[in-house]
A and B are shown apart, each in its own frame.
Chain A
Amino acid sequence: DAGVIQSPRHEVTEMGQEVTLRCKPISGHNSLFWYRQTMMRGLELLIYFNNNVPIDDSGMPEDRFSAKMPNASFSTLKIQPSEPRDSAVYFCASSNTGQVPYEQYFGPGTRLTVT
């Protein structure tokens, strides 16, 4: 099993630019999560999809952030326009809600730096 795949691993961009982060969950998993990790705030859940449908987006910081899951094997997190305070590591995780408890499997993360 390839695990959760994220790309790019590192992204450096200038303030105001659009950033798109990508995630491929583990095959057969029906839930997908986007997290943000910073020193100040720790690990924050941004959005949760179940069967490709956004269920909980209460953690999305503001309208500049959007996420999509067009099919079971792909999701994107987009920031437009980006700001320096968006600099963080963004993790994607997936799980199978048919197995209780719902063990989450994390990708390696995308380190985003906005200058």
Chain B
Amino acid sequence: GDSVTQMEGPVTLSEEAFLTINCTYTATGYPSLFWYVQYPGEGLQLLLKATKADDKGSNKGFEATYRKETTSFHLEKGSVQVSDSAVYFCALTSGTYKYIFGTGTRLKVLA
């Protein structure tokens, strides 16, 4: 079945450092890919999405490119801030209601 694998956390970075959170997937067909972010005490919020190969999703300085050849959707940000501290979830859906979520990666940014 479909699956999503995220890098284990926590990831601890200093402010203004470069961020990469790896995400790879297994799916039949052509899934849509998402990154969700969960701030402490809150629900998940959609951060960005990509619906076909080579699409780049971007929002709030975060980017991720849908790479079909490597079945990856890595999240990147050039300069993280303390306010980016949160848990990040990679997810996919293959055109149905069902989302497959990764286990989440906790990011901690130090001032």
On A, residues with C-beta under 8 Å from B are 4, 31, 33, 42-43, 45, 48, 50, 55-56, 91, 93, 95, 97, 100-109
Q: Given A43-B89, A43-B101 in contact, is the A100-B95 Cβ separation under 8 Å?
A: yes
- How would you classify the secondary structure of chain A's contact residues: helix, strand, loop or mixed? strand
Within 8 A of A (CB), among B72-107: 89, 93, 95-99, 101, 103-104
Instruction: Say which residue of B32, B42, B93 sits within 8 Å of A108 (CB atoms).
Output: B42
Please give, as numbers and ranges, the residues of chain B lying within 8 Å of A4 by CB-CB distance. 43
Is B12 interfacial (CB-CB < 8 Å)? no
Whole-angstrom distance between the Cβ of B10 and the nearest chain A Cβ: 13
CB atoms of A103 and B43 under 8 A apart: no
CB atoms of A109 and B104 under 8 A apart: no
State the total of A-B contacts with C-beta under 8 angstroms. Answer: 52
Alpha-carbon separation in the docked complex, A103 to B93 (Å): 9
Whole-angstrom distance between the Cβ of A14 and the nearest chain B Cβ: 24
Which partner residue on chain B sits nearest A48 by CB separation? B97
Is B49 interfacial (CB-CB < 8 Å)? yes
Please give, as numbers and ranges, the residues of chain A lying within 8 Å of B49 by CB-CB distance. 101, 103
Tally of chain B residues near chain A (CB < 8 A):
21
Please give, as numbers and ranges, the residues of chain A lying within 8 Å of B104 by CB-CB distance. 42-43
Instruction: Say which residue of A97, A101, A108 sits within 8 Å of B43 (CB atoms).
Output: A108
CB atoms of B42 and A102 under 8 A apart: no
CB atoms of B98 and A45 under 8 A apart: yes
Please give, as numbers and ranges, the residues of chain A lying within 8 Å of B97 by CB-CB distance. 31, 33, 48, 50, 55-56, 95, 97, 102
Whole-angstrom distance between the Cβ of A53 and the nearest chain B Cβ: 12
User: Can you pick out 26 interface pairs between chain A and chain B where the beta carbons lie within 8 Å of each other?
Assistant: A4-B43, A42-B104, A45-B98, A45-B99, A48-B97, A50-B97, A55-B97, A93-B43, A93-B44, A97-B97, A100-B95, A101-B32, A101-B93, A101-B95, A102-B93, A102-B96, A102-B97, A103-B46, A103-B49, A104-B44, A104-B46, A104-B99, A106-B36, A106-B43, A106-B45, A108-B41
Alpha-carbon separation in the docked complex, A33 to B103 (Å): 18
